[in-house]
Each structure stands twice: as structure tokens, then as C-alpha cells.
Structure 1
Amino acid sequence: MITRRDILKTFLGLPIALTACKTDYEQTQIEGEIVGATDNIGHILREKRNWQRPTDVKEALDVVVVGGGIAGLSAAWELSKKEGTSFRLFELERRLGGTSASGAVNVDNNQFNRLENNGKFAYPWGAHYLPVPFKGNTDLVELLDEMDLLESSGEAGEPVIREEFLTRDPEERVFYKGRWYEGLYLHAGETKEDERQFERFETLLTYWTAWKDGSGKRAFAVPLHNCSQDSEVTNLDSISFAKWLE
């Protein structure tokens, strides 16, 4: 049965692995492999193949968690705090974590030995990372604290993550007609009107990111029940994103 310690250890591999994009240009072959779910295992269920089924194992449970990805592990972590609640987590793959996978290397430096009990240093396989949560996301802050990732709380009570678990913001670029351009928006060839609209869009994003109501609640937050119910925010629910852009 999965233990609370197993759940927390698996959470250390939060980044999501992505497959590489192919191009028409010749590229030097780099050794390695694409990691992710084992397609064949999923096909067993889809194609209704025969496989060995346990016939003598029966167990009464309060909850069954199907899948050991981030959602399943989060559910199991929450259930593990509830005394008297019996549950099992089922995962098709040989390891927990789903697409939130990571690798690990052996290290001799004692600074990193606390990351893994066997003296390994974990590293991400993908390009998606967990943003530092706001203090209002109490469940996530509690999880990070239990994983010993928090250093302290800042002046405003916001969580401060230990430096060895932080990563720098990645540089984003777009490759277009033989050249690299900074950022994800291609400024090459834009008109003055394009530039004006893009600057206006960024101004609006900055506004909503910093927006708070009279009680200090943000316009957009996770979990959703932490969002402000101010009419300026809820009125957005009555229009589409396309309409908002107009």
C-alpha cells in the first residue's frame, strides 16, 4: 500500500516531460529517449486484451484513487491525513508520478543528500515547473512545507522557497525564417497598430495580475474559491475571451 512518505517523495518530480518537436533541418543526433507513459499498457485496456486478474483478493475500501499522477497523488496525500479513511491508489505504470516525472544522478556533495534518501540529486525531465504559490493557497503551501521545501515566510506572509529548489526563469525565443527572436510574440513585421494592441494587452494582464478587492482577494487564484466575488471580476464570466479581446 502506498505510504504518505512515498507520496511526498514522488511529488519531488513535479516537472512535466515534453516530447521534442521535429523540423525539416538536418540535426546532429543526440543520444537519449523520449520519456512518458507506456503506450502499450494503455492499449491493453483499450483493446480488451486478456491479462492476469487477481481472483482471491477482495477488500472493502472507503475510497479508490485511480491513477498515480499529480491529481491522484494529491488526493492520496489529502486522504492520508484523514484518520479512519481506508483507500488504495492504483497506477498502471511501474512508477508513480505520471507525466510529472524527473530523473536523478548520484552526488557526493552532502549539500544535496537530503533530496533523496539514497544520495541522489533529482532533476526535471520537462519544461513546466511549479510556480511559487501565494499564501492563500494553503493546501499547496502545506504540502511544500511537509516536503521541507520552505525556508520561511516573507514580510507579507508569502512562502519563501529554499534556494536549492528554485530554478531560473527560462529564456523564451521564437525561430522564424532563419533567425531567433526574443520572447514568444514575433515582433518582426508588426505594424504600429499591432504594437499598440500588444502593449495594451500586456497592460491589461499586468492590471489583472495585481488586482485585489477590498478584502485582499485576487481576481484569479487557485483554488478557485479563493477568487474575489467582486462584480468587476464575476462580470468577466458573462463574456467570451474573444469578446473581451474586442
Structure 2
Amino acid sequence: MRQVLFILLLISNILVAQNITFIYELTFSTDKKDVRREYYYLDVLGKQSVFRSEKAREADSLMQKNGYWQSRKPTFENIYSFKNLISNTIYKSVTHPAMYDLYYITIDDKLQWQILSDTMKIGDVECQKAVTEYGGRKWIAWFDHASPLQDGPYIFYGLPGLIVKLSDEQWNFDFNLIKIKKSDKNNMFYLRKGKEITWDVYKKIQIDYYNDPFAEIKIRNIKTRIGDANGNPVNLNFKEITESIQKQIKEDNYPIELDKAVKYP
């Protein structure tokens, strides 16, 4: 963790009401045990925040600027959330990979934190341990009790301080705060709320997409044609592309909500 982080942590108390960005490094492993790393951003504006991957954040920025979504990988966004800590409203944001339709799921789970006496120094920050359960996993958090900001990665919040480190008991997901920066711009990008759905509907959407990734394109009668290296039009081979997408969906099937996991054939 960079030294600048701890300097900024000391001044975060006076900046908490302004627009601040907390950058976490997520280390996670799939069923194949291959370890991956991605950067996630917690953008805080007063008592509201949004947590998303660096790529999703860039896509939101371009959407706000240009009015259209950029091309992204053909799988569902796994970790994207909004928090309103005034109303204690938390929801997970979902974007359909094919048509970019927007959905959200209200998170009704109440985090029952157990604050322990264990402490650990992470860099120069004295952190305290807390545990909770969510999504079929047991989670271990280390929070900075000197910080007035009661927020953290993804849907996790409610501790008396900022969560500096968060991991599940099996170490499939491990979030580590690596940088804090103040921004003069509004990085909230309230563009992605969309239609409210339930977990069951979300499962159905995922299964339907797996069974036929081009179903919505066919229903809406959208013309699909690509070009070769010379720019000549080439018809899409739906069977081959479908098999490729299905393979990628299975390879990327590592939901953070283990109890809501979709079992693909």
C-alpha cells in the first residue's frame, strides 16, 4: 500500500463531505484457482457513493459524455453498487451485456457486524477487525476507526470507520485500499439505475442470455453484420459466437453472492 495513502487518510476527516475517490485493488480467484487483479473505485459524494470497476467507471464517463455505451465483454457486471447512507438504501446495478439494458436489485440484507478486539496495523493505519455474513460468505473487515466515513467496498458499510481491507473467509475476494484522492468533478454518474428486478428475475435474465445471447437482438430485429479486414460485409455465425460467449460466461462465473449463483449446464 502506497505511503501517500496514509497521508491522505489523516486528512480524509476534513474532506469527507466533499467528492472523494477511494481506489481498491481486488484480488480474486475463480473455480480454476487462477488469480486475477482488478482496480475498483469507491466514489463518495457526501452520504452517497458508487462502487464499480475501473472499466465500468470509464464506460459510465463515456456514456455521460457521448451518450452511448462503449463495447464491453459479453458477461454481466459482477460487482457494481450504489449506496445512500442517509436513507440506508443500497442496490446492485446490472447492465445487460447484449443490449445494455439497465437493471437494479435492492439489497435488503442487513449486515450484522460483530466488532472484535483484534487490531492490525496496515501500513501506518491502526485498524480494527469486524466480521459479518453476506451472500453465503463470511466476511472479515479491517476498518480505520479514526475515520468518520462509515463506508467500504461494494455493499459493505456501517462500521464505525472506513473499511481499509475486506476479504471473505476463503480468500476468493480480497479488497485492499491502495489510494485516496480528492476530485473536483462529479464522478457519481447517476445513469445506471434502470428497472428494478428481483434476484429470481436476475437469475432468469442470466440463464436466458446464456441459452441465447442474441435473443434480444433477434426479437428487436436489429441487423447484425460485421466486416472483414478489407471492409467487406460478413454474416455472423451465431452458433460459433454463441458457443464462445457461453464458454466465457462459464469461465467468468464467480459471483460474489455465492447463495445467488447461477448453475450453468
TM-score (norm 1): 0.26
TM-score (norm 2): 0.24
The structure with the largest helix share of the pair is 1
The structure with the largest strand share of the pair is 2
Q: Give the number of the structure whose alpha-carbon radius of gyration is greater.
A: 1
